[in-house]
Chain A
Amino acid sequence: MLSLSHYLVLAAALFTIGAMGVFVRRNAIVIFMCIELMLNAVNLTFIAVSRYLQALDGQVFVFFVMTVAAAEVAVGLAIIVVVFRSRQTVRVDEINLLKG
């Protein structure tokens, strides 16, 4: 029988890897993928704690997190496409001004 800590450590490791991707990479699309990875690590925590506490609310929250993630990806990728059209790049170093 695995303890709750196993899952929490795994989720923390996944979150850390995602955070490292956000720190290290410069490609806006890859940074977005790393954000998805971090959201998934949080989802894993939700589900593990939900089973440990024998409550299903955590699973409902994961449902909402996924909804928000889907909305975020749709709008975020649309923004990246628009920025790419006007700047011809997805380097986050060069997208540091909001005015086009």
Chain B
Amino acid sequence: MEALFFYLFGGLALVCSVLVVFLKKPVHNAVALIFTFFCLAGLYLILGAEFVAIIQVLVYAGAIMVLFLFVIMLLNLEEEEAIEGRGNRFRKWLGGFAAVLVFLLLAPVWVLQSLPAVKGTFPPEKVQELGNTVWVARLLFTDYLLPFEVASVLLLAAIVGAVFFAMKRM
């Protein structure tokens, strides 16, 4: 059952992410990316991370992609051919080759089978007892309280920065 959903969501995520790279219009790219995010949320669900799955849909597929779509609509973009440039096969092949190199660089990580055998303190039964969200919240507000507050300062800085850029009349 897990394998079925893994191959379903994983395959869909791969197809959609390839579409993100190769579709021509930015709006189509954005829609493909939304589908990718939903597939990843499904993968998080089968990995037992319900909280992150919901946040993925709310924050990524909801907030961030709406931001992207707004900007795409705001900028009255010129023709895509003018942006991407025609021909230039050499650059595309070079990009593909570099991507394959990246994949090979990552290979040692997933071949490696010697992760520490020591298990953490959250076996599935314990997580099931109260639910994933409760445990994540407890960690967030005890062990990770300082990073949590720093993250909120970061978001404030981002808001101020975005407003500053939006105010600037050029």
Which chain A residues have a beta carbon within 8 Å of chain B's beta carbons? 1-2, 4-10, 12-21, 23-27, 29-30, 32-34, 36-37, 40, 43-44, 47-57, 59-60, 62-64, 66-75, 77-82, 84-86, 88-91, 93, 100
> Which of A4, A7, A10, A59 has the most chain B CB within a 10 Å cutoff?
A59
Dominant SS at the B interface? helix
| Chain A min CB distance to B55 (Å) | 6
Contact A7 B47 (CB under 8 A): yes
Smallest Cβ-Cβ distance to A75: which chain B residue: B161
Additional pairs, 7, CB under 8 Å, beyond known A60-B144, A70-B158 = A16-B102, A17-B20, A27-B84, A69-B64, A71-B154, A71-B155, A81-B165
When chains A and B are docked, how far (Å) is the Cα of A93 from the Cα of B82?
Answer: 12
0 or 1 for each of B1-33: is its CB under 8 Å from A? (1 = yes): 011001000100110011011000010011001
Contact A2 B3 (CB under 8 A): yes
Count, chain B residues at interface, CB 8 A:
89
Which chain B residues have a beta carbon within 8 Å of chain A's beta carbons? 2-3, 6, 10, 13-14, 17-18, 20-21, 26, 29-30, 33, 36-37, 40, 43-44, 47-49, 51-52, 55-56, 59-60, 63-64, 67-68, 71-72, 74-75, 77-78, 80, 82-85, 91-92, 94-96, 98-100, 102-103, 106-107, 109-111, 113, 115-116, 118-124, 127, 132, 135-136, 139-140, 143-144, 147, 151, 154-155, 157-159, 161-162, 165-166, 168, 170
